[in-house]
Amino acid sequence: MHRRGFLATTALASLQQIHAADPAGVRVFAYGDGIPWTPEEYAKLLTTLTADSRVEPDEYSRGGVVEKLETRMATLLGKEAAVWLPTGTLANQLAIRILCGTKKRAFVQAESHLYRDCGDCMQNLSGINLVPLAPGRATATIEDVEAAASDSMLGRVATPIGAVQIETPVRRRMGQRVNLDQIRRISAWARERNIGLHLDGARLFIETAYSNTEISTYTKLFDTVYVSLYKHFNAASGAILAGPKALLTDLYHTRRMYGAGLPQVWPFAAVALHTLDGFDARFRKAVQISEEVISRLQRNPNFQTERIPEGTNVFRLRVVNVNAPVYQLRLETAGISARIPLNDWFSLQVNETWARLPADEIYGRFVTALG
């Protein structure tokens, strides 16, 4: 083993020992959008949720607690129907596939998950060409859309647009939000032209806590919307695709065609449904506490912070005059878990574990870790 690998392995083992000795419920996890439960913790939660037979099993991802979750999510998202899917990759792909129909071209942001991280799935599996817009930016403007549409229609072979997808917030832009006014303008433009609209809202419930808006403010602008169930709703896997009944009623057939009609998914659906209860209040409290902590870190000369404009739950932190890997170990000991720093900068995330303690206590842990 190389020296760097040995040191990384040793550090990871140390972090795991410290975490294992932690009192339950008081650790703040400054990474991830949700609570990083261990398999044991997840199993204990399932035991609690199933103790009084409240959880009805599904059959091939239909019925039972899965249907209950789908109904709940459809209502929250302001849509007629919702379908459980195993991944967001599949949810986005099926939405674009349905909306495009015979029009085999769709607009997406160049920095979107669907364009950058899904292996050309639309082209390879559905024969739909993705046109990337606004490279290096979270927001694609109406001008970007109109220019791309003109290129599509004025070529020697006219190529009609079947769908427009907007991802917000954008993971590859440190959780930056897409400008809501531009979303409204693009939505109006697309509807005038009978072009489908899909929202990759994997972290939509996080965004609304930072933009201080209602979920429907976003979802009413789109035909379909995808929300992740594993990121901040703590399921081991899963996604929800919501939209009109006419589009989604028989989607389980397509789901099965893609090998995604899993025999039983109640362990995912039950945890997501459980987390949904009170999530908005818990997360908004976490945001409020984290903002107080970040404000105090910004005023402390021992720290440097960076935040992206129109950001959400991601910020960067650098510690002055303290070795970053050493600080990570000290921070772990103090009760805050963070990912390994890159070039002395920590990329930190806010999730509902920030609501476990007062801002004074969390800030004090950052200071204590200075040594």
**Ordered strands of the 303-306 beta sheet:** 303-306, 314-319, 345-349
Using a pLDDT cut of 70, give the percent of the chain over it: 93
Q: Judge whether residue 54 has pLDDT over 90.
A: no
CB 96 within 8 Å of CB 225: no
Residue written as token pair 């999510």: 73
Confidence band (pLDDT; 50, 70, 90) for 52? confident
Non-local (6+) Cβ contacts of 152 within 8 A are 105, 131, 158, 159, 160, 161
Integer Cα distance of 94 and 117 in angstroms: 16
With pLDDT > 90 as the criterion, what percentage of the chain qualifies?
Answer: 90
DSSP readout, 114-177? HHHSSTTHHHHHH--EEEEESTT-SPPPHHHHHHHHHHHHHSSS-----EEEEESSBGGGTTBP
Dihedral over alpha carbons 321, 325, 327, 329 (to 10 degrees):
-160
Beta bridge pairs of residue 170: 176
Band the pLDDT of 22: cuts 50, 70, 90: low
Q: What are the pLDDT digits (tens) for 186-218?
A: 999 999 999 999 999 999 999 999 999 999 999
Residue extents of the structural domains in the chain = 3-30+279-368, 53-276
Rounded Cα distance between 13 and 204, Å, is 35
Kindly state the average pLDDT of the residues 225-232.
97
User: 3-state DSSP call for residue 41?
Assistant: helix
Cα of 161 vs its chain's centroid, Å: 27
Residue recorded with tokens 């987390």: 275
Which residues make Cβ contacts (< 8 Å) with residue 315, sequence separation at least 6? 294, 305, 306, 307, 348, 350
131-153 tens-digit pLDDT: 999 999 999 999 999 999 999 88
Sequence-distant (6+) residues with CB within 8 A of 332 are 14, 15, 18, 19, 338
CATH topology of domain 53-276: Aspartate Aminotransferase; domain 2 (3.40.640)
Edge-to-edge strand list for the sheet holding 224-228 = 81-85, 239-243, 224-228, 196-200, 163-167, 105-109, 129-133
Listed in sequence order, the residues at least 6 apart from 151 whose beta carbon sits closer than 8 Å to its beta carbon are none
Asked, colleague to colleague, whether 3-30+279-368 and 53-276 share their fold, the answer is no
Q: What was the pLDDT predicted at 159?
A: 87
* Confidence tier at 25 by pLDDT (50, 70, 90): low
Superfamily grouping for domain 3-30+279-368 = Aspartate Aminotransferase, domain 1 (3.90.1150.10)
CA distances from 191 to 142, 188, 243 (A): 13, 5, 15
Q: Give residue-wise pLDDT tens across range 296-319.
A: 999 999 999 999 999 999 999 999
At 165, is the pLDDT very low, low, confident or very high (cuts 50, 70, 90)?
Answer: very high
What digits encode the pLDDT tens for the residues 264-287? 999 999 999 999 999 999 999 999
Which amino acid does the sequence have at 49? L
